[in-house]
Amino acid sequence: MRVKDKVAIVTGAAQGIGEGIATRLAEEGARIAVVDVKLDMANGVAKSLKEKGTDAIALQADTSKKPEVQAVVDEAISHFKRIDILVNNAGIHRMSKVTEITEETWDKILNINLKGYFLMVQAVAPHMQKQSYGKIVNIASVAAYGGMPDQVHYNASKGGIISLTRSLALEFAPFKINVNAVSPGAVETLGNKRFLDHYRELVEKRIPLGRIAQPADIANAVLFLVSDEAEYITGQCLSVCGGLSIGTAPGI
C-alpha cells in the first residue's frame, strides 16, 4: 500500500479523471474526501469507495468560491483530523474562437481552472505546514505547452497552473510539501466527450503510443507523485499523454 492511511482531498472527483484518481489512491490505502460541485455523483463515488472498505466522504463545493472551499476543507479536517494530499483536478473545457469568447466565459474558465486551484491550496496549506508534510498535485494539460486554436482561455488557465505549481513548490519546500503537476493528453471522460466525438480519429492518429488515455493512466502518475517514492520531486510537470507532447506518431 503506497499511501496507507494518508488523507487525500480530490476535487472534481465525481467523474472522469478525478474519480479515477480517488479510486486509485483508495486502492493504495488512502482515506478520501470526494469534492465536487455535483453532490449526488460525489455521493455515488464515496459510497462505492466505502463499499470497498475506504473511509470516504463526499463534500460539495464550487471550487471557484472561497467560502465553499474553506467549508469543505474544514469539514474534511473535522472528519479526518488531517490532510496529507491535495489533488486539484476540478476543471472545465470550452472551445470558441477568440473573437467570440465572452468576458463571462473567460472569467468562468479562469475562475474554476486556475483560481479554484489557488483557493484549495490556500485553505489546505496551513494544515500541511503545521504537520510539515504534504503532497499537492495539480492537474494541468498538455494544452499548457503548445499553442492551440479555439481554446485560448482553457490553454491560458492550464499554462497558469504550471506557473502556479513551480512557485508553490518553492514557497512550500521548507515545509516538506511537494507540489507537482500532471499534464494529461487526451483522456476518455464525459467532460472530453464532445471534443473526442469530433476529433477522435485525428487525435488517435497523432498519439505516438496509439491510444487515448483512460483515467487510470493519469491516476497512476498522480499516485507516484503523492507517494514517498517521489519524496525528492517537486515543482515538476509530468506529461501523461502517450508521447503527444513531444511529437506525433510516424506518418502524420
Residue 29 contacts residue 6 (beta carbons within 8 Å): yes
User: Annotated catalytic residue: which of 117, 133, 154, 232?
Assistant: 154
Tell me if 187 contacts ligand NAD by CB under 6 A: yes
Count other Cβ atoms within 10 Å, centred on residue 183: 24
Tell me if 189 contacts ligand NAD by CB under 6 A: yes
Beta partners for 136?
A: 86, 179
Give the whole-angstrom CA distance, residue 167 versus residue 164.
5
Extract the C-alpha cell encoding 223: 499516485
Grouping H, G, I as helix, E, B as strand and the rest as coil, residue 52 is coil
Residue 247 contacts residue 208 (beta carbons within 8 Å): yes
Tell me if 168 contacts ligand NAD by CB under 6 A: no
Tell me if 112 contacts ligand NAD by CB under 6 A: yes
Count of residues that interact with ligand NAD, criterion CB under 6 A: 30
16-35 footprint of ligand NAD as x/- string (CB under 6 A): xxx-----------------
126-165 footprint of ligand NAD as x/- string (CB under 6 A): -------------x-x------------------------
Piece in contact with ligand NAD (CB under 6 A), picked from 24-32, 96-104, 183-191, 197-205: 183-191
- Whichever of 130 and 193 has its CB closer to ligand NAD, that residue is 193
Give the whole-angstrom CA distance, residue 6 versus residue 85.
7
Strand order in the sheet with 7-11: 56-60, 31-36, 7-11, 85-88, 134-139, 177-184, 237-240
Give the whole-angstrom CA distance, residue 24 versus residue 221.
10
**Residue 89 beta carbon to ligand NAD: minimum distance, rounded to whole angstroms:** 5
Tell me which residues touch ligand NAD (CB under 6 A). Answer: 11-12, 14-18, 36-38, 61-64, 89-93, 112, 116, 139, 141, 184, 186-187, 189-192
